[in-house]
Amino acid sequence: MFKKASPLGFILSLVFLSISCVPTRQFEELQSKQQNCQDELALEKEKNLSLSESNTELSGKLEVLDEKYQNMLADTLALSRRLQSARERLNRIEKSNQDLLNQLAGMQEGNAKETKALLSQIKKAQNELRLREDEVLSLEKEMDARKRALDNLQAELNQRDQRLQELEAALSRKDEAVRALKNKVMNALTGFEGNGLSITTKNGKVYVSMDEKLLFKSGSYQVDSRGVEALGHLSQVLAQNKDINVMIEGHTDNVPYNGSGALQDNWDLSVKRATSIVRIIIRNKGIDAQRLTVAGRSKYAPVDSNATAAGRSKNRRTEIILTPKLDELFKILESN
C-alpha cells in the first residue's frame, strides 16, 4: 500500500529540487507516477474486495435457492398424496352412486316413499361427486402450477450453480497461474534464492523479495553486478508472461539517512532504489513499461523489528510484486 506524502515532505522536496537544480518537470513526472501507483493499487484492492464479496454473495444465493427448491419439492409431494387420496374417494363415490342406481332400477315397483328417499340419496351422492370432481380439478391445476414453479426454480438453481462453478474454475485457474508463475521465477533465479532472495505467494500474488546485500551497497541506489544478473533473469520471465503486472517497492529500516548529494532521507533512498531496478528490468525490450509501477515505502512497511541488527537487515529490501491480470474473473462477475 502506498503512503501519502505529507505536505511538509512535499515542500521540503520542492526546496531540495530547487537547490539541487533538478528540473521541476522530472519531479512532477515522479509525482504523477506515484499517484498512478496509488490509484492502481486502490483499484486492485477494490477489485479484489468486489471479487470476494461477489463470490460470497453468489454462494449465499445458491444456498437460499436450494432451500426454496427442497421446500417446494416437499410441498409438491404432499399435494400429490392429497390428489391420490381425492381420486380414491371419487372412485368410491362413483361406485356407491352406481350401486344406488342399480338399487333404484330394482325397486321401481317399490313404494313411493322408499323411491323418494333413494332419489334423495342419489342427488346427495351426485352433489358430492361434483364437489369431489371440482376438488380434483382444482388440485390438478395447483399441481400443474407448482410443477411449473418447481421447474423454473430448478432452472434458476442450475444457472446459479453453473455461474458459481465458472467462478470457482476461474479462481482455480488464477491460483494455478500464480503457482506456475512462482515456479518460473524460481527456476529463473536458481542460485539466488537463499542468498539474499526469497520467493513467496500471498493474496494471489508472487513476491520476489531481494535483500539490500544482493542489490546495493549501504546507502547507495546503484545496483551491484550480482543484482543486475538476478534482475536480468527475472526480466526474461516477465517478457515471456505479458499478462503479469509488476510493482517494484523499495523499503528501508528506521535508521535516518545521513548521506549527502541527491538523497535527502529514507523516502528518497527507497524511491531511488526502486527506480534503479525498474530501469534495469526495462532494458529487456520485450517488456511493456506500462505494466510496471514503482513505489518507495521508506521505513513504513517493515517485515521485522527494527530493534535488532538482523531485523533492520531484513527490512532493508526491495520487493518485486507480480500480479496476474484478473480480466476473466471480472467478466464473470459483470455477467452476474
pLDDT, tens digit, for every residue of 1-57?
Answer: 434 445 555 555 544 544 454 567 777 778 788 788 788 778 877 877 877 787 788
Q: What's the confidence (pLDDT) of residue 4?
A: 47
98 plus 227 within the same structural domain? no
Q: Roughly what angle, to the nearest 10 degrees, separates helices 24-106 and 7-20? A: 140
- Domain edge (last residue) among 174, 209, 235: 174
**Based on the domain organization, do 184 and 326 belong to the same domain?**
yes
Higher pLDDT residue, 322 or 166? 322
Q: Which of 174, 193, 214 is the C-terminal boundary of a domain?
A: 174
Pair 281, 294: CB distance under 8 Å:
no
Name the burial class of residue 80, with classes exposed (0-12), middle (13-18) and buried (19+) by CB atoms within 10 angstroms of its CB: middle
23 in any annotated domain: yes
Task: Identify the residue whose cell numbers are 368410491.
Answer: 92
Q: What is the mean pLDDT of residues 156-180?
A: 79
Query: Which of 51, 335, 38, 68 lies closest to 203 in space, CA to CA?
Result: 51
**Domain hosting residue 286, numbered range:** 7-60+177-335
Number of domains comprising the chain: 2
Q: Is residue 98 part of a domain?
A: yes
Which domain CATH number covers 199? Answer: 3.30.1330.60
Mean pLDDT for the stretch of residues 57-82: 85
Per-residue pLDDT tens over the stretch 170-222: 777 777 888 888 888 888 888 777 778 899 998 889 999 999 988 988 888 99
pTM: 0.53
| Domain final residue, candidates 127, 143, 174 | 174
pLDDT in tens, 220-266: 899 999 999 999 999 999 999 888 899 999 999 999 988 777 788 99
**Angstrom distance (rounded) from CA 32 to CA 38:** 10
pLDDT of amino acid 268: 92
Which pLDDT score is estimated for 13? 55
